[in-house]
């Protein structure tokens, strides 16, 4: 998801949306590294934060597609919007499972 937002910033999305996309890319990278590096309780925290971040990004896109967000109205024909919907939906499922497994590991320890 972060890579898609970075690609869009590097290929012409500017203004407020470009800044938000760049911040999204940085946040996604930090959380992805945390998921790979951390263990035990910090892994649980990182997985919960990653899940919330992904869900928030997906909800922001859905709001932009329906009623608009920050004065921005998105369409399904805009560059990579359908791909982003799929990636963020799958990411939400994967991070939900990851969070559940991290919680389960934490309870066993």
Q: What is the pLDDT of residue 105?
A: 87
pTM value surpassing 0.85? yes
Given a contact cutoff of 8 angstroms between Cβ atoms, the answer to whether 87 and 4 are in contact is yes
Determine which helix (DSSP H) or strand (DSSP E) holds 21, and give its type and residue range.
Answer: helix 15-37
Q: What is the pLDDT of residue 48?
A: 96
Q: What is the pLDDT of residue 11?
A: 94
Q: Which residues contact 8 (CB under 8 A, 6 or more apart)?
A: 18, 21, 79, 80
Q: What is the pLDDT of residue 98?
A: 93
Q: What is the pLDDT of residue 58?
A: 97
Only one residue has tokens 């004065």, namely 71
Q: What is the pLDDT of residue 75?
A: 93
Report how far Cα 12 is from the mean position of its chain's Cα atoms.
20
Only one residue has tokens 């911040």, namely 23
- Distance CA(14)–CA(95), nearest Å, equals 29
Q: Which residues of the chain have pLDDT under 70?
A: none
Q: What is the pLDDT of residue 42?
A: 92
């Amino acid at each position: 998801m972060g890579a898609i937002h970075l690609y869009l910033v590097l290929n012409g999305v500017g203004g407020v949306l470009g800044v938000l996309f760049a911040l999204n890319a940085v946040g996604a990278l930090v959380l992805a590294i945390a998921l790979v590096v951390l263990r035990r309780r910090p892994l649980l925290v990182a997985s919960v934060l990653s899940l919330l971040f992904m869900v928030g990004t997906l909800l922001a896109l859905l709001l932009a597609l329906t009623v608009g967000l920050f004065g921005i109205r998105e369409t399904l024909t805009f560059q990579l919007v359908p791909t982003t919907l799929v990636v963020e939906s799958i990411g939400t499922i994967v991070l939900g499972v990851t969070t559940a497994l991290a919680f389960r590991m934490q309870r066993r320890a």
